[in-house]
Amino acid sequence: MEGQGGSLIEVSIKAEPLLHIGPFEFTNSMVGALLASAVLLAAAWYFSRRAALVPGRMQSLIELPVEWMADIVSASTSRWRGYVSLVVALFLMILVANWIGLLPGVGTVGVHSMEGGHEVFIPFVRPASADLNFTLGLALVAFAVFVYWGVRVNGVTGYLKELVGEPRYMAPLMFPIHLISELSRLISLSMRLFGNVFAGEVLLATMLAITTAAIFTIPLAFFVPGVFLGLEAIFGFVQALVFALLAMTYITMAIAEHEAHDDEHGAHDERPFSEAPHEVASIEPEGIG
């Protein structure tokens, strides 16, 4: 971009490599993803070790998103136990990864290095979802799972029959269309998350760059990026929710075909998550609200 007087901010669409390990690059978005995983693992370890039957204030706060998400998933199909952990995990991972991107220092603390004749700035941490590799990886996992459920519920022939469509003679036309629509879910899942988070990062950087230029003349300019930071916090949550819900819906759609047939056997648990029996639920004392 050759504008007059240089550009206000530096935007890199791909993650910058920090180290080279053999043929692999260790990029700064990997640092973001590892940080998010570390936060989640530490929270899981810490709170599962001291989990109380009657949750305290902190435990309730941690359990709230898990229980809320699990309640939504358990309303989808009678086989929700098979995929509830995946959907909740996708939600939590993306939520934490998005919110780590809003912390101070992420994307601003880094080193300057020479690359291709001009100086570039390489931040140490880049929010994981602002890298297409991360979102595409998550979308591939979701894709594999909903194809797996489609095959498991309908069988391989049933799944292929679904791709072929109803009037069999239309197969040469409909099969490629159905195939493309299956693959387009992969693209739209990954692109939606990447586009939103990346655009959010660019928006924040632009707002910050504009207001730091004005900060000495207009004292309250400081609050302008703050408003957008709050907006991005909401978007980070919504995008995590959307990704998890879409993954859930695709799995539900793969299962739904045979739902009526399965209900005759009555073999599946249809109670929502909060009412379904848990190992500790039976000894829960009454009258504690």
Report the residue from 130, 246, 251, 255 that binds another protein according to the rule CB under 8 A: 246
Report the residue from 41, 199, 213, 227 that binds another protein according to the rule CB under 8 A: 199
Q: Quick check: helix, strand or coil at residue 120?
A: strand
Q: Whose structure tokens read 């700035």?
A: 121
- Minimum distance, C-beta of residue 129 to another protein, in the bound complex (Å): 13
Stretch that binds another protein, among 46-54, 88-96, 205-213, 241-249 (CB under 8 A): 241-249
Phi, psi of 160 (to 5 degrees): -65, -35
Contact between 133 and another protein by CB under 8 A: the answer reads: no
- Residue number with CB closer to another protein (151 or 272): 272
Contact between 72 and another protein by CB under 8 A: the answer reads: yes
Helix, strand, coil shares, percent, the chain, to 5 = 65, 5, 25
Stretch that binds another protein, among 89-97, 136-144, 147-155, 194-202 (CB under 8 A): 194-202
Q: Are 247 and 86 in contact (CB under 8 A)?
A: yes
- Minimum distance, C-beta of residue 186 to another protein, in the bound complex (Å): 13
**Alpha-carbon distance 189 to 160, whole Å?**
23
**Alpha-carbon distance 147 to 155, whole Å?**
11
Closest residue by Cα to residue 178 from 169, 166, 165: 165
Tally Cβ neighbours within 10 Å of residue 187.
Answer: 12
Contact between 241 and another protein by CB under 8 A: the answer reads: yes
- Residue number with CB closer to another protein (1 or 280): 1
Under the rule (CB under 8 A), what is the footprint of another protein?
A: 1-2, 13, 72, 75, 188, 191-192, 195-196, 198-199, 238, 241-242, 245-246, 249
